[in-house]
Copies of this chain bind each other. A is one copy, B any other.
Amino acid sequence: GDFAKVDLHRRVRCGFPEVVFGQGKTAAQIEAIFRKLLEHGQGGLVTRIGPEVAAHLKAAFPEGEHNVAGRTFRVVGPDGVEPKVGRVVIVTAGTSDLPVAEEARVTAEAWNCEVSLIADVGVAGLHRLLHQLPRLGDADCLVVVAGMEGALPSVVGGLVACPVIAVPTSIGYGAHFHGLAALLGMLNSCASNVVVVNIDAGFNGGHIAGLIARR
């Protein structure tokens, strides 16, 4: 349609097909974009969709997978069956950060990385994190997802040698200001291997981690 100019060259230019930002798009619009991508031999991944849009896409592309918590839908393209390359480990501070972590997981998997998830190891109970040190040390790239004070990336960053992608979440209340507290914390991290993406941006976290881990 006229409403979208699908960036079919992106896979060539950037190594990864365009991913559809589902928020504010109709199911029909997303279906049309997916058809165009598939026609050109590229897989489709859409983020930030609700259950109705997911149901529509599942009907249109029965082979696709819906990640309920992560609010994504993915159709693996002809190019999607390579061997796995690179290890991404996703870590969350609390249980409530899981939806953002799932969005990151699906995205990193779309890069054909080996992805694993460690949940609920926030800094107020440090032993929980220290138990996971071996798994952290194995990663090619870490994604650390945290709300509240967003301190986990700094602590993790000081324990590992690989890059840490910090994803602030909007989990918190009051002076959290919908993720601002966690975001600022992460931007001011005293650990120098920490970089930051937008609040709740599981997609960006998983994407860049996959890109780095594959190198």
Complex contact A170–B161 (CB within 8 A): no
Complex contact B149–A154 (CB within 8 A): yes
Q: How many residues of A contact B (CB 8 A)?
A: 89
Q: Does A27 contact B (CB under 8 A)?
A: no
Q: Does A151 contact B (CB under 8 A)?
A: yes
Chain A 52-64 interface mask (CB, 8 Å, partner B; 1/0): 0000000000000
A69: nearest chain-B partner, CB-CB = B3
Complex contact B190–A93 (CB within 8 A): yes
Residues in B neighbouring A142, C-beta threshold 8 A: none
Complex contact A127–B9 (CB within 8 A): yes
Query: Cα distance A76–B187 when bound, in Å?
Result: 28
The one of B124, B184, B191 in contact with A154, judged by C-beta atoms closer than 8 angstroms, is B124
Complex contact A190–B14 (CB within 8 A): no
A97: nearest chain-B partner, CB-CB = B24
Query: Cα distance A194–B197 when bound, in Å?
Result: 8
Complex contact B195–A196 (CB within 8 A): yes
Complex contact B188–A125 (CB within 8 A): no
**Interface with B: A35-43, A77-85, A199-207, which one?**
A199-207
CB distance from A50 to the nearest CB of B (A): 14
Query: Cα distance A201–B154 when bound, in Å?
Result: 16
List 20 extra interface pairs beyond A4-B95, A14-B157, A194-B204, CB under 8 A.
A13-B161, A21-B96, A122-B190, A123-B155, A149-B184, A149-B186, A151-B155, A155-B155, A174-B188, A174-B201, A175-B183, A176-B184, A181-B184, A181-B185, A183-B187, A184-B185, A185-B185, A187-B196, A194-B208, A195-B196
